Amino acid sequence: MGLSTASARIRSVQPVSLGLLLIAAVYLGFLSGYPGGFGPLVAGIAVVFAAGLRVGAPRGVAAYAPVPVLVALAVEAVPAPLGLGTELLAGLSGLAFLLWLADDPTRTVGGAARSLPTVAVPALALGIAWSSALFLPAGAVPLGVAGGLLALTLAAVAFLVGRPAVFDREEG
């Protein structure tokens, strides 16, 4: 395979992941219920500003580019009305955010494609959660099970994040 001419010093926008994030965030903003088009406006500004930071700002400042996107997504998701479509869109926004992170302009192109094994796990969990919400009957028992699973997941994540050596495999 020949060497690619991609240089780590060339910072370029990757339009696919950026477009996905923009569409997902703006649509979530639209569904969030803020009056006067405030939601889509905030989402659009946050994503464009973050993309500009990543491409144009010095490295130290560019590292903070995910912050406005995360804040905008959180601000839109919290007041969003109940609904399966809204929930699915919120989850997809999270996945689009991960893909956008993977297309780091300071690294080699194709980051989004290489991140698929990482993004696949949350995508699978999201699929299971959403289909459970869609197909399971409403009631106290399923809610309790879901709550228990959520607490378990949080505890597992907290444990794993606190002990990164768990991911190390002993050399034979």
Partner 1 sequence: MSEPDSRSLRWRPLTPLVLSVGAALVFAAVLTRNPTPLFLALPLLLAPVAAALAGPRRAPSVRIDLSVEGAAAEVKLQGSVVPEPGVDARDLVLEVDRPPGLVGDPAPTFDYSKGEIRFHAVWTAPEPIITEVDVPRVLWRDAVGLVERETTASASPIVVTRYPPELLRIGAVRLERTTLLPGETPSRRIGESGEFHGIRPARPEDPPRQINWRASARAGRALANEYDLDKTGDLLLILDARPTPLGREVDARLFAIARAAAAGLSDSFLRVKSRVGLGVFGEFLDVVPLSTGRTQRIRIETALRHARLASVAAPAERCAVAARHRFPPGLTTVIFSSLSDDSSEDLSPYLRRRGFPVVVLSPSPLPIIAASSPLSGAEEELAARIARLVRRDRIARAWEDSPTIDWDDYWSLGRFVEFVRRPRLRRA
Cα 75 to Cα 33, 38, 47, 63: the distances in Å are: 11, 11, 13, 21
Cα 105 to Cα 16, 22, 117: the distances in Å are: 13, 17, 20
- 138 sits near partner 1 (criterion: CB under 8 A): no
- 78 sits near partner 1 (criterion: CB under 8 A): yes
- What whole-number distance in Å separates Cα of residue 47 and Cα of residue 119? 20
- 88 sits near partner 1 (criterion: CB under 8 A): yes
Which of 56, 110, 144, 148 touches partner 1 (CB under 8 A)? 110
DSSP states along 59-105: HHHHTTTHHHHHHHHHHHHTTPPS-HHHHHHHHHHHHHHHHHHHS-T
On the CB side of 134, CA atoms within 13 Å amount to 11
- 168 sits near partner 1 (criterion: CB under 8 A): yes
Q: Which is nearer to partner 1, 48 or 116 (CB)?
A: 116
Among residue numbers 8 through 37, which ones bind partner 1 (CB under 8 A)? 8-9
Binding segment for partner 1 (CB under 8 A), chosen from 13-21, 39-47, 48-56, 67-75, is: 67-75
Q: Which residues sit at the interface with partner 1, rule CB under 8 A?
A: 1-9, 63, 66-67, 70, 73-74, 77-83, 86-88, 90-91, 93-95, 97-98, 101-102, 104, 107-108, 110-112, 114-115, 117-123, 125-126, 129-130, 133, 150, 153-154, 156-157, 160-161, 164-165, 167-171
